[in-house]
């Protein structure tokens, strides 16, 4: 049975003032409607922002341990619904059951983590120059935050924006991507059941134009965005123009360097996991394998075998699910055509799988290209699908040069048995996240995350205790007596 959702504004579940709705469908079976949502407009966003603004002072005055207790109860509520939310995420976004379950668990863990962090947000005491002054800092909430989240991690990313905001005493208005908003709304259901005061957190399901309205609104003090670089740059420029604090995490063209000391089979396993996991629909997905000529051929054989060994199908049964929408699928297929026309050699995948289980689903095969030159579009532009370009190099210096030859700088990894080489890579690679003998995807929740270059506005990091900095302003106190 199709579920019907409402917006959550000022502690109430409300229909949109527009009276309009939209449906989400299952990417594995596009004729199957998953849920119906209100198509919110600016009037709905206005009500949500005003509610957050009116609740801001009281929430800021709420003791940190009390705010943390609400987050902890919300985490427990999410845990009780883990299987239900895993099924919803798979149905709306297309992830496999294992991937969706891992993401739901991450959201639960994030809420528990920031529940504890709320206890420790007390500033620091410093030594004063004189004996009669007590010198210390206080962390004050910034006010109202607008949170704009993407569809590819529809519960984890909303959680890692919303939980730290609430932990600091900041109120929030969220606009999740309309492709898969259900998991994000589950966070608000959990918070509502946990006793969150009215107006502290609000969510509206709407088009991108409503996100723009939120970004410009006079009562919004900070804007946090995750999504494409094109949109993120627009969001940042608008927010800054209107005097707001802003953070934007955007696209990636993430490399894995395969050293001549690497085991080709191990390297191929790492690259395949980073490139084909979550159907390649991650900003941190491995899109380029930069491989030393001495191990190139064996690595390619292993990577092709890994790609061809992936079973594709509906996410509740198979290794790799569909792409999220028809337009995302078409974009990936277009890039596959571009790569072939540029002269790259297709050695695995490259098409849509045939068979009864695929139906009209948005499936594409895990794809590997070799003979890729560093200036090919397939080596420079974000694909956002399960496609990896293999670039052959002659030595370590060339490998790092190729890895850095991108407008993006989000995540990068190296597979090597040489510790000195690993250290040099970490020092020289232009990326916000650097990994050794690991895939480019996968993040710990208690350390900072963010990119450089066109992957990020390079303003504030997300996740970990550092993730709360964006939502606070430091006050320095000189207490003389």
Catalytic residues: 283
Q: Which two tokens stand for residue 235?
A: 């969001």
Angle 223-226-227 from CA coordinates, rounded to 5°: 130
Residue among 280, 294, 300, 383 at smallest CA distance from 345: 300
Show the tokens assigned to 6. 């409402």
Q: Phi, psi at residue 216, to the nearest 5°? A: -90, -15
**Angle at Cα 211 formed by Cα 46 and Cα 31, nearest 5°?**
110
Distances 475 to 68, 135, 142, 464 between C-alpha atoms, Å: 22, 11, 11, 21
**Please, is 427 exposed, middle or buried when counting C-beta atoms within 10 Å of its C-beta (0-12, 13-18, 19+)?**
exposed
**Six token digits for residue 477:** 């106190």
**CA torsion through residues 95, 448, 438, 303, sign:** positive
Listed residue (168, 184, 155, 139) closest to 8, CA to CA: 184
Query: Cβ distance 114 to 166 under 8 Å?
Result: yes
Burial 142-174 (b: 16+ CB within 10 A, else e): bbbbbbbbbbbbbbbbbbbbbbbbbbbbbbbbb
Q: How far apart are CA 119 and CA 129, in angstroms?
A: 29
């Amino acid at each position: 049975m199709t579920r019907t959702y409402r917006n959550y504004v000022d502690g109430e579940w409300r229909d949109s003032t527009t009276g309009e709705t939209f449906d989400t469908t299952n990417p594995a079976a596009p004729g199957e409607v998953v849920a119906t949502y209100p198509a919110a407009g600016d009037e709905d966003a206005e009500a949500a922002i005003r509610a957050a603004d009116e609740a801001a002072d009281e929430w800021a005055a709420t003791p940190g341990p009390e705010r943390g207790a609400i987050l902890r109860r919300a985490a427990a509520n999410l845990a009780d619904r883990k299987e239900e939310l895993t099924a919803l995420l798979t149905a709306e976004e297309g992830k496999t059951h294992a991937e969706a379950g891992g993401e739901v668990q991450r959201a639960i863990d994030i809420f528990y983590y920031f529940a504890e962090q709320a206890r420790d947000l007390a500033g620091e005491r410093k030594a004063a120059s004189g004996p009669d002054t007590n010198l210390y800092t206080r962390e004050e909430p910034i006010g109202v935050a607008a949170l704009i989240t993407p569809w590819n991690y529809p519960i984890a990313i909303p959680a890692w924006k919303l939980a730290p905001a609430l932990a600091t005493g900041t109120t929030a208005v969220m606009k999740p991507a309309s492709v898969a908003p259900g998991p994000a709304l589950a966070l608000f259901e959990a918070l509502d059941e946990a006793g969150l005061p009215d107006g502290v957190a609000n969510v509206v399901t709407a088009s991108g134009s409503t996100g723009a309205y939120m970004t410009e609104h006079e009562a919004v003090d900070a804007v946090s965005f995750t999504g494409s670089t094109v949109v993120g740059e627009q969001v940042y420029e608008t927010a800054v123009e209107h005097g707001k604090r802003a953070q934007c995490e955007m696209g990636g063209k993430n490399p894995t360097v395969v050293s001549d000391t690497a085991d080709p089979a191990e390297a191929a396993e790492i690259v395949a996991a980073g490139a084909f996991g979550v159907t390649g629909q991650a900003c941190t997905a491995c899109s380029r394998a930069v491989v030393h000529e001495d191990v190139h051929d064996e690595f390619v054989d292993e990577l092709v075998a890994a790609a061809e060994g992936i079973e594709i199908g509906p996410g509740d049964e198979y290794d790799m699910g569909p792409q999220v929408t028809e337009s995302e699928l078409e974009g990936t297929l277009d890039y596959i055509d571009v790569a072939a026309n540029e002269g790259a050699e297709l050695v695995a995948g490259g098409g849509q799988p045939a068979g009864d289980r695929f139906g009209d689903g948005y499936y594409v095969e895990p794809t590997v290209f070799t003979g890729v030159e560093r200036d090919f579009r397939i080596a420079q532009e974000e694909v956002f699908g399960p496609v990896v370009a293999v670039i052959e190099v002659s030595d370590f210096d060339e490998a790092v040069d190729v890895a850095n030859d991108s407008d993006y700088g989000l995540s990068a990894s190296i597979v090597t048995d040489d510790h000195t080489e690993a250290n040099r890579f970490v020092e020289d690679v232009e990326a916000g996240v650097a990994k050794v003998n690991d895939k480019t995807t996968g993040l710990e929740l208690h350390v900072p995350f963010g990119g450089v270059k066109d992957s990020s506005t390079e303003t504030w990091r997300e996740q970990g205790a550092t993730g709360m900095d964006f939502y606070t302003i430091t006050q320095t106190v000189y207490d003389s007596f």
